[in-house]
Structure 1
Amino acid sequence: MINLVIDIGNTLSKVAVFNNRELVSLEQSVDLTEPYLSKLIKDNKIDNSIISSVKPEIKHLEDCLKAVTKYNHFTAITDSEIINYYKTPNTLGPDRYAAVIGAAANYPDQNCLVLDAGTCITYDFISSEKKYFGGSISPGIQMRFKAMHTFTGKLPLVNADLHNSENYGDDTLSSILTGVQKGVLYEVLGFIEYYNSTWPHLKVILCGGDMNFFDTQLKSSIFAHTLKTEPNLVLIGLNEVIYHTND
């Protein structure tokens, strides 16, 4: 079974081909077009397809996939093996839902906290019994830098320095840098500490564009043994939905 799995995010899209549960190809694209998808489908002899998108304008892509593959429409109310306790599933981002499905598939029978560090940082918890209770959303690293520059009169726009390890700044630029990066790190540690104290044997799964920053920073913490990085967690979850639908 050859599956085409697409994750459309705020800044770029991931396009993956799975042979059953094996990821055989992965591309990143800013702009998906119908000719591009048609060629990909033909070259790889795609059987099934699925899209997770944070953007609403995807009907033309769905129509393209429906014409030549078995298309699986995916939203946060799509049936899966997950027991979803989210009170407003219609407002739940499909990428968040796909990520916890991927976590449950990769780490069955374990309590998992998914930390997706992208434009926003999302924290989503799924229990060892595959119960999804929800999570939290906070500004991502770049958003924090941009917000301080945008909503103040004089603070400059500072670029992230993911290798900076200082605890405080001695000028305005370094003060902003440490404020954002140390602030977000302490936030993450606080969330992990809470979930770890509440749910035993917690697995923390990192994904998203700023995944490597948190992986590096958290390796020296007391939670280092709980960490796993999986940049393709959303794609894995979407592929699992295809399997569940075809069972």
Structure 2
Amino acid sequence: MASLPHERHLLIDKGNSYAKVAVVDDGVFSPEVAFVEQLTPETLAPLCRVAPGGRLFTVYSSVGEPQLFAPAYLQEQSYYFLQIDAETESPLRALHYERAQLGADRLALAVGALAFTEKDTDVLVIDIGTAITYEWVSSTGEYLGGNISPGPRTRSRALHMATALLPEVELTSDAPEMGSNTHDAILGGIAWGIGYEIEGYIRHLQSKKPRLKVILTGGYATYFADKVKNVTFVVPDLVLRGLDRLLEYNAQNHK
């Protein structure tokens, strides 16, 4: 049986359907990410355990329906608890965006991108999930803004709901350049359309910032990783890493 950590960072990113949960034990980021549908005492209690005299630091981010139980329980269990909201302080030097309208997940992505910035090297983070978000972070640590467009499943569902006969299609296989049936035509239209959209953003920003780094993240990142040119890194857990950076930053300022 593994020994309990003396200091644990509990990272919770609650989306619309489930929560992604990860831990950092005594400074070591665990590669295992749990997908939890319901945040209950039964699911949370094992994650809150630390060694006798140890300390639990928790960060909670939610973009789905509010769940009043989880924050209250986590705050009770934690030495330090941070719930991401419009007032949360961040290590970003400036935000060129309406702060109250910047979702917790997008803030975490921008903060996570700071680890990849270098002199004269901006970072573009592309998160491909229910929505596709584009977050631009400067080499000096400023959030320069971002865009939002529909993700793969959202595009497929919109086609299905707005037409009489078109089926809903999942991106589970490589898409042909041109479909020979309706399923493949939708698959190709969505996959290639998103790929060209992403490459267009990359080309445009690289014309301004030739040393631009591009990071893919989100549930569909691995699907598009070998389909999009000029991607620097694929970091599926960038939101969680950004949440950990926010937790450390605010906990230090709290002392």
Considering only aligned residues, what root-mean-square deviation do their CA atoms show, in Å? 1.8
Q: What is aligned with 1:32? A: 39
Q: What is aligned with 2:71? A: 62
Counterpart secondary structure, 2:70: helix
Alignment check: 8 A CA contact 2:8 2:50 kept: no
TM-score (norm 2): 0.87
Q: Structure 1 residue 10: deviation in Å? A: 2.3
Alignment check: 8 A CA contact 2:117 2:141 kept: no
Q: Structure 1 residue 189: deviation in Å? A: 0.6
Deviations 1:171-199 (A, max 9, x none): 32222221111111111111111111112
Task: Number of aligned residue pairs: give it.
Answer: 241
Aligned residue type for 2:69: H
Counterparts of 1:1-247 in structure 2 under 5 Å?
A: 1-24=7-30, 25-42=32-49, 46-69=55-78, 70-109=80-119, 110-164=121-175, 166-218=176-228, 221=229, 223=230, 226-247=231-252
Q: In 1, Cα distance between the equivalents of 2:215 and 2:55?
A: 29
Alignment check: 8 A CA contact 1:119 1:139 kept: yes
Q: In 2, Cα distance between the equivalents of 1:192 and 1:121?
A: 14
Aligned residue type for 1:145: S
Q: Structure 1 residue 46: deviation in Å? A: 4.7
Counterpart secondary structure, 1:47: strand
Q: Structure 1 residue 233: deviation in Å? A: 0.5
Alignment check: 8 A CA contact 2:114 2:141 kept: yes
Greater Cα offset, 226-235 or 71-80: 71-80
Alignment check: 8 A CA contact 1:111 1:202 kept: yes
Q: Structure 1 residue 58: deviation in Å? A: 2.7
Q: In 1, Cα distance between the equivalents of 2:150 and 2:238?
A: 20
Alignment check: 8 A CA contact 2:21 2:33 kept: yes
Distance 1:20 1:107, change over 3 A: farther
Deviations 1:100-148 (A, max 9, x none): 1011024454311111001111111100111002111111011111111
Deviations 1:26-65 (A, max 9, x none): 3121222123212321257552101111024132111111
Distance 1:13 1:30, change over 3 A: same
| Structure 1 unmatched runs, 5+ | none
Distance 1:43 1:246, change over 3 A: closer
Q: In 2, Cα distance between the equivalents of 1:36 and 1:159?
A: 30
Q: In 1, Cα distance between the equivalents of 2:118 and 2:22?
A: 23
Counterpart secondary structure, 2:49: helix
TM-score (norm 1): 0.90
Aligned residue type for 1:2: R
Distance 1:132 1:152, change over 3 A: same
